[in-house]
A and B are shown apart, each in its own frame.
Chain A
């Protein structure tokens, strides 16, 4: 039997959730030790016995037994989760209490509580995202650093700072807390950033990045399973993730080469994800407000429904970007809006819009600003101007994938 390639990473988050339920969040490090013990045990036993039929259940059982050992040994010296009350004190209630913590529904709720706890207002957004990736998704500091183009030590520091805040809270976020709605909005934001990092991020490793998207979608689905969190805004977020993820197979080809939206092979878009995204977009419309997630999902849906670049409703897309600019203005949104204007009204107008971007200097290090200029110059027939724009973009490329993409664009200005 072969091993599921993400088994340990996936199960790590679920095991930590169950163990935190018993030990309390102030004993997060103890929970992580127990998980590691279970992994060591798996290595020792599986390498001689082979992989069990249900490796996930095997790991869970091992962690559960180890938790029982730890509690029996340390219950006089250590305080565990306040929520467990006196259940861990006697053998009469210990085993059932631990079994309950490892039940599927408890694990799901605990994962949610951890997600909400990670989005503590005292933590910066990048710390929140790193914590979620570490605790719930099982990524090590070095893997997170790889995805965020940061140093391992910096990420390590970010994570341990976050864990200190979690531990100081003594208990995980209570989902019935009055702050729930405010916290929910931070959770959505963190998941959005996580997805974006996977989709647009600067890291060259496409495998890692695709996993970030998958994880963001998995956690958003978890959020949608919990009725109070399954609001229209959450549906809009889930919708935009599906509609963007649908384009991933065309965005990066088998050779790992990047393809811009305008020249993607649309037959490679994932029709299942598109359909799922459209259903979600429809249910997201049931609310009273239109959020940035709604607008981004609607833009992605307009692309998903278009047979070709020319057959795209650019007027609709520009108007959606206009609304997005009033709701959540940013230089990158302005850049995408300018590209859409270029499609609707011609390249000259697109360039004017690009030049008119207010805080354009914030795009100084962003390779896709000069690249967008280059595309428009090329459409105007100004090959020389286009080449120098693409060369400028190439100088800003952040990874081999972007470099290869922009090199090709430079070359396309020379060849017929």
Chain B
């Protein structure tokens, strides 16, 4: 078994779109809970991760320039992550296809967690 980090990305506008009305919000949440519970039941959920606030600071370069960000308008804002346990990358991809994120125009980025003996 290997570990994979699933990064959930969307723009803030897309996320608001998915939550457009209370009824949509309710449906999105139910879909997510269902998906996460399913992962858990099948032993794929290594860690439920942490929710990330949408903005913070970005520090860049030798001069340590501090700016606000990421900007809300930024494309592909990372909204959060989970850690999944799967046989291989193919299975991890397969698991990700059920993610409610994909019902909207968001994306799931799957990154194998590197190990020392890679």
Which A residues are within 8 Å of any B CB, using their own CB? 3, 5-9, 11-12, 36, 39-51, 138-140, 142-143
Contacts and interface: CB of A to CB of B under 8 A. Distances in A.
Given A3-B29, A48-B36, A143-B21, 15 more contacts: A3-B26, A9-B23, A12-B22, A39-B25, A43-B25, A43-B28, A43-B29, A44-B80, A47-B29, A47-B36, A47-B48, A48-B48, A48-B49, A48-B80, A140-B21
Interface in B32-73: 32-33, 36, 48-52
Contacts of A47: 29, 32-33, 36, 48
Contact of A139 (B23, B29, B52, B79): B23
Interface stretch (B12-20, B87-95, B110-118): B12-20
Given A47-B32, A48-B82, A9 B22 contact: yes
Given A48-B50, A48-B82, A49-B48, A43 B19 contact: yes
Interface centre among A7, A9, A40, A138 (most CB of B within 10 A): A40
Contacts of B16: 36, 40
B36 A140 contact: no
- Please give me the 9 A-B residue pairs with the lowest Cβ-Cβ distance, nearest first: A140-B21, A8-B22, A48-B48, A44-B51, A47-B32, A9-B22, A39-B25, A138-B22, A12-B22
Nearest to B45: A48
A143 B33 CA distance: 23
A36 B80 contact: no
A329 B36 CA distance: 57
Contacts of A11: 22
- Chain B interface mostly: helix
A140 B23 contact: yes
A45 B54 CA distance: 12
Contacts of A39: 19, 22, 25
Contacts, number: 74
Contact of B19 (A36, A138, A143): A36
A143 B23 contact: yes
Given A5-B26, A40-B16, A46 B33 contact: yes
B2 interface: no
Contacts of A8: 22-23, 25-26, 29
B75 interface: no
A163 to B, nearest CB: 15
Given A36-B16, A49-B48, A44 B23 contact: no
B51 A45 contact: yes
A143 B23 CA distance: 9
26 contacts: A3-B30, A5-B26, A8-B22, A8-B26, A39-B22, A40-B15, A43-B19, A44-B79, A44-B80, A45-B51, A47-B29, A47-B33, A47-B36, A47-B48, A48-B49, A48-B82, A50-B33, A51-B33, A138-B21, A138-B22, A139-B21, A139-B22, A139-B23, A140-B21, A140-B22, A140-B23
A14 to B, nearest CB: 11
Contacts of A5: 26
A138 B24 CA distance: 11
A292 to B, nearest CB: 33
A46 B30 CA distance: 10
A42 B80 CA distance: 13
Contact of B26 (A7, A36, A45, A142): A7
A46 B26 CA distance: 12
Nearest to A44: B51
Nearest to B47: A48
A138 B22 CA distance: 6
Interface centre among B16, B21, B36, B82 (most CB of A within 10 A): B21
